[in-house]
Structure 1
Amino acid sequence: MKSSSLGASTNESSSSQSTPIRGGTSQSSRTSESSRRRSSDPISWYLASIGREPLLTPAEEIELGNQVQAMMQLLEAAKPSYSDHEKKLLRIGKRSKQRMMKANLRLVVSVAKKYQGKGLELLDLIQEGSLGLERAVEKFDPTRGYKFSTYAFWWIRQSMTRAIACQSRTIRLPVHLSERLSAIRKVSLDLAHKLGAMPSRHEIAEAMDMPLDELDGLLRQALTTSSLDAPVNGDEGRSFLGDLIADSSEEEPLDRVERGLNHEQLDHWMNHLSEQERHVLQLRFGLEGRDRHTLAEIGRQLDVSRERVRQVELKALRKLRNLTRRLPSGI
C-alpha cells in the first residue's frame, strides 16, 4: 500500500511539475525563478513576505496587547525565578509580541516610503521603523480604546525622523564600507523579523559567518554616523549602540574588579546586583569556578529567551561600570 501510494504521489508530482501553467511556464521553472528573485533582490522578497502576513482584527489587537502587557509586567519585575504560570504568560506574551510586530510591518514600510530620499535608504528606514514598532507593541495599552495602528504610527515615525536627523549631521563612509554595513543591516533586519526583536552582535556574526571581532571593527568604523545613545532595542533594560560595541581602551568591569580585588571584595560588589543579575554574570563569565555559557545556554537554564538574558547582562554590567568608576585609579 505504501509503495503504491508513493508511486501515485510521485507520478502526480511529476505530472504537476511538467504541466504548463499560464503563459506556458512550468511550475518548476516558476519556482526556480522565484528562488532567483529572492536571492538577487532580498528587499523585494522581504516586502512580499510581510505582505502575506494577515492583519489583526480589533478583537485580536486587544487580546494580543493584553498578553504582551502581562509579559512586560513580569519582565520589568526582573524576578530571579518564575512560577509555571508566569513562565506560560511569558511564552504567550513573546508569541503575541511577534504576532503583533509581523502583522504591522507593512505599516512600517508604508511610513518608510514617505521618508525616502531624505538621507536614509529604504532598508535603513524600515529597520529604524521596526525599532519604533517594537517599542509601540511593548507600550500599547488596549484599555485606552484607540487603534494600535494609530498608536504605532507615532512611534514608527519618531524613530525614522530621529535617524534621519542623526544621518544629516554625519559624514559619508567609503563605498566598500557602506556595502558591508548594508549587508549587516540586511541580515539584522532578517533576524529581527524572525526573532521579533533586534538581534545581538553574536547572532549577527553567526548568521554572517563572520568573526565577532571583525563585526565589531566594522561597527566601530560606522560610529561616526550614529549616536552612541541611539536605541537598539528600546530604553531601560534594553541595549544602545554604545553598549553593543566594546571599547578596546577600557576593560570589562568584571575583568577590572577580578584583577584588582580579592574574592571577598568581589562578592561585595556583586551583592549590589539582583540575584538574577549575579546568576547570569556568573554563568556568562565563568565566575566561582563555573564554565562560561552562551546566551542560549543560560536562556535554556532559566527558561527565558536569549534576548532576555542579554538584557539582564547589559543591565548588570552598567551597574558594575558605575561601581568600578568609583574605584581608586591604582586598582
Structure 2
Amino acid sequence: MQDREIDEPAEAEQIKDEVDGTASDALKLYLRDIHKTKLLTAEQEKELAGKIDLGDMAARDRMITSNLRLVVKIAKRYINRGLPFLDLIAEGNLGLIKAVEHFDVSKGFRFSTYGSWWIRQSVERSLMNQAHTIRLPVHVAEEIGRMKRKSGIFRKQMNREPTLEEVADAMEVELTHVRHLMTVTRKIFSLDQPMGERGDFFLMDTIEETSALSASDRIEGVEAYELVSGFMESFTESEKKVLTLRFGLNDHEPQTLDSIGLSFGVTRERIRQIEANSLRKLRRLLQEQDCEEPASAADDGIRSASPSACCTHPPRPALP
C-alpha cells in the first residue's frame, strides 16, 4: 500500500511535544524539504527499479528521496525509546537505502511493503545498540507516547498542565493506568541523572546488562509478519485460510489439523499437505526477494497476528 501524503506543518506540530525545541525546529525544516518530492506511482517504481538494476545512480537517489516520508512515519513509532527523533530518522534512512538496493519489483509488490521491513530493522537495531540499558515493552512505550500527546493537546487548549484525572479522561483509561505510566516515566528519566561528585557518570552506567527480552525483540516477529502477509496475497484462498486458522493469524485461535479438516470437509492429511506446500511457497518467495533476514524471521512472524500478539497469544505450532 502506498504511504499516505504527510502534511509537513501538521506532522511537525503533532510531535513537537515529544522532542525538544531545537529538534522540533530542525524537524520542521527537514519535513519541509522532503515534502517537495512527490510520492511514486507503481509504474514509476517499476521504471526506477529497472534503471537501478542497471546501475543508474540518479534513479537510486530518486527512489530514496521519494520514500523519505515513509521513514518519518515509521520512526514516529519509536519515539521515547531512548534515541532522539532525528536520530531515529537517520537510522531509518540507512535502512531505506538498503531496501532500495535489494528491491526486486518483478515480485509484484509495492516498495513500501518491502522497504518498511528494512527501515524498521535498522531503527530497532540502533535502539538495541545505543538506547538505555533498561528498555520498555512495546505497549508501555506506546502508551507513554500517547499520554504525552494527550497532555500536549490539553496544554495547548487550556494553557495549563493537566491533572492526572484529566489525562486519564483524555486517554479513556483508568486513573491507576496513568499513575503507572507516570511512575515508569520517572524511573526511566532518573537513570539519566548524573552521578558522582563531578557528575561524570550516570546511574544507568552502574546497571548490569541482562538478557531480558528487549522492546525490539518483542516486536521482531510482528514486523516480519507484516512482510509475510504481503507475500500471502498471491496464495490461493484455501492456502491463506489454512495458514490463518493453523497459526491463529488475524485474531483467530490456532486450530488443529483435525478441526481445520472438519471445516473444509477434507481429511487431516489433506490439510497437512496444504500447510506444507504453502510454507514451502512462502519460504521460496522470501528467498527470491533476496531478504535472507526476513526469511529467517518468517517462522516467528507468521505466528503474530497483531502488535499485542507477540506477548499475549499462546504458543503457535512449530513450522516444519
Provide the TM-score with structure 2 as the length reference.
Answer: 0.34
Larger relative contact order (CA 8 Å, sep ≥ 6)? 2
Largest Rg, 1 or 2? 1
Higher helix share: 1
